[in-house]
Amino acid sequence: MTSTQYSIRNSIGDRVFLGAIYVVLTLVLVIVLYPLIYILSSSISSPAAVSSGKVWLWPVDISFKGYTTLFQNPQILTGYGNSLFYTVAGTLISVTLTIMIAYPLSRKTFYGRNVLMMIITFTMLFGGGLIPTYMVVKQMGMVDTRWALLIPNAIWVWQVIITRSFFQSSIPDELVEASELDGCRDLRFIWSVVIPLSKPIIAVLFLMYAVGQWNAYFDALIYLKSDHLFPLQLILRSIIILNNGSGTMDAMQMVEKQQMADLLKYSLIVVATLPVLCIYPFVQRYFVQGMLVGSVKG
């Protein structure tokens, strides 16, 4: 007995449309991929090739002088350790506080939730400004401490909004009522029911807060004074400024210093973005799912 296979033949219009989609997606891939390849190639090319513009796709005169110069600075490892601490600790604090705020706001039984949500959303449009914020941080005794990078910006309003929308669409009221009948308290319900069902949005929160903490340098520039507390981004900024300084030197030394400064920029980009690029593939599936659910419904 033979099985008959049927194939649907696309019309000419469908083929043209499909071909146009492939062309557009290919262009987008090139636009996104080329800067990454260019930066990586420039970071392992010779300083003279980078400064003269000979690098446009592949490395020229392969050299790891940029990375060698970077890691000869003992502050790099210190900055890496500080950035990892700020990223891990800050992300855990931010995700915990976001869930604690977003879940009550998603329940219809929470009195005054709409007013509170309006107040929280209001902070997206208007802020106190840099000087009042610095005065608050200083009065709380957090200047030149690690807490200055963990507490003041621990909660982002947009993350609260998408988390609240996710809870509204994914945690039905009937599930809450059933848990109350079984004698389950709120904290136990959040830990045993809400969190296991909210892995996509939690992955989104972890990724967003982690990337924000890893790339943050302005708060460190404002609040920190001790070198041993500086995150990696602030140390990399100091290295660029140091290598751009002219000082007293002859023309040849100035040319070499400028070439090294150009090379260091690309090496710094690779060093600073590599951890995020390594983490993202593991949470990409949850990130896309959580963003769709949290942004469409609610």
pLDDT digits 0-9 by tens, 220-273: 888 988 888 888 888 877 777 766 655 555 566 666 666 777 777 788 888 878
Cα(194)–Cα(171) distance, rounded to whole angstroms? 7
Instruction: State the pLDDT at residue 1.
Output: 47
Q: Do 123 and 184 form a contact (C-beta atoms < 8 A)? A: no
Q: Do 270 and 111 form a contact (C-beta atoms < 8 A)? A: no
Mapping DSSP to helix (H, G, I), strand (E, B) and coil, where does residue 143 land? coil
Torsional class of 141: left (φ above 0), alpha (ψ -120 to 50), beta (otherwise): left
Nearest to 266 by CA among 240, 290, 232: 240
Residues contacting 47, CB < 8 A, separation 6+? 63, 65, 66, 256, 259, 260, 262, 263
Cα(182)–Cα(296) distance, rounded to whole angstroms? 32
User: How much is the pTM?
Assistant: 0.76
Q: Do 293 and 170 form a contact (C-beta atoms < 8 A)? A: yes
**DSSP state, residue 228:** G
Question: Is residue 50 packed enough to be buried (19+ CB in 10 Å), middle (13-18) or exposed (0-12)?
Answer: buried
| C-alpha torsion sign, points 167, 171, 172, 176 | negative
Mapping DSSP to helix (H, G, I), strand (E, B) and coil, where does residue 19 land? helix
Fold of 74-296: MetI-like fold (1.10.3720)
- In the chain the first and final C-alpha atoms are separated, in Å, by 53
Instruction: State the pLDDT at residue 91.
Output: 92
Q: Which residues of the chain have pLDDT under 50?
A: 1, 294, 296-298
**Start-end of CATH 1.10.3720.10 domains in the chain:** 74-296
The Cα diameter of the chain in Å comes to: 90
Cα(151)–Cα(157) distance, rounded to whole angstroms? 14
Instruction: State the pLDDT at residue 95.
Output: 93
